[in-house]
Amino acid sequence: MERLWAPWRMAYIKDAAAAGDSDTECVLCRIAKEADKEEENLVVARGKHVFVVLNRFPYSNGHLMISPYKHVRDFSGLAPRAVTELVEYTQESINTLRRMSNPDGFNLGANLGRVAGAGIDFHLHMHVVPRWSGDTNFMPVLADVKVIAQALEETWRELRSHWQGG
């Protein structure tokens, strides 16, 4: 396969751009501050330096993002303890998804910069994307449709009940 097309990502990119490409406020900063809106914002867990949120525009069911509270573009702006906690919460995200839905594998990563594919390129975040054999099909290619097997709110409740770290 030469290319993986994800045309639905443009809605996410446009939403992130509309939220403002500023160094003071962004969608992840807003979510970081709104501790009283965990379900509305789909926050799965919070630590001292990072939080875990269910992606509103997932590639697959259970697609999580781990983000520092601090508004930084890349790892160089984080204290060592924050980097450590980001990795710990990435690990617990994987463990939680394994307990919850037993995926066959995972995609992990951070897209640093717009040209690297970041929809939110001004606030660092890691992606944990659970994968299953045969989880891609003709729907995204022919109909510009993603097939997600579970409502985000339902996935959020299940993730919260399985989360053990933090």
Q: What is the pLDDT of residues 112-165, one digit of tens each?
A: 888 877 788 889 999 999 998 877 654 454 455 566 777 888 888 999 999 986
User: Do 96 and 166 form a contact (C-beta atoms < 8 A)?
Assistant: no
Compare 76 and 4 and report the one with higher pLDDT. 76
pLDDT at residue 11, rounded to an integer? 62
Residue 23: which pLDDT band, with cuts at 50, 70 and 90?
very low
Dig out the tokens for 76 from the structure.
């160089």
Q: List the CATH number of the domain containing 26.
A: 3.30.428.10
pLDDT score for 7 = 60
Q: How far apart are CA 48 and CA 107, in angstroms?
A: 25
Q: Is the pLDDT of residue 28 over 90?
A: yes
Strands (E), 27-154: 43-46, 50-54, 64-68, 105-109, 126-131
**Inside any domain, residue 70:** yes
> Average pLDDT, stretch 86-108?
96
Closest C-alpha to 103, from 146, 62, 164: 62
Residue 99 lies in a domain: yes
- What is the predicted pLDDT for the residue at 16? 53
**Which amino acid appears at position 64 of this protein?**
L
Instruction: Please check whether residue 7 is in contact with residue 140, taking contact to mean a CB–CB distance below 8 angstroms.
Output: yes
In a domain, residue 53? The reply is yes
Classify residue 2: in a domain, yes or no: no
CA atoms within 13 A on the CB side of 67: 28
- Name which of 126, 118, 124, 62 is nearest 91 in CA terms: 126
Q: Which domain holds residue 144?
A: 21-162
Cα distance between residue 161 and residue 139, in whole Å: 31
Does any domain span residue 7? no
- Mean pLDDT value across residues 21-43: 86
Catalytic residues: 125
Query: 64 by DSSP, 3-state: which?
Result: strand
Average pLDDT, the chain: 84
Q: How confident is the model at residue 6 (pLDDT cuts 50, 70, 90)?
A: low
Number of domains in the chain: 1
Asked, for residue 79, whether it belongs to a domain, the answer is yes
Q: Residue for token digits 């617990």?
A: 92
pLDDT for the residue numbered 24: 46
50 in Cβ contact with 85 (< 8 Å): yes
Residue 89 lies in a domain: yes
Is residue 15 a part of any domain in this protein?
no
pTM metric for this prediction = 0.76
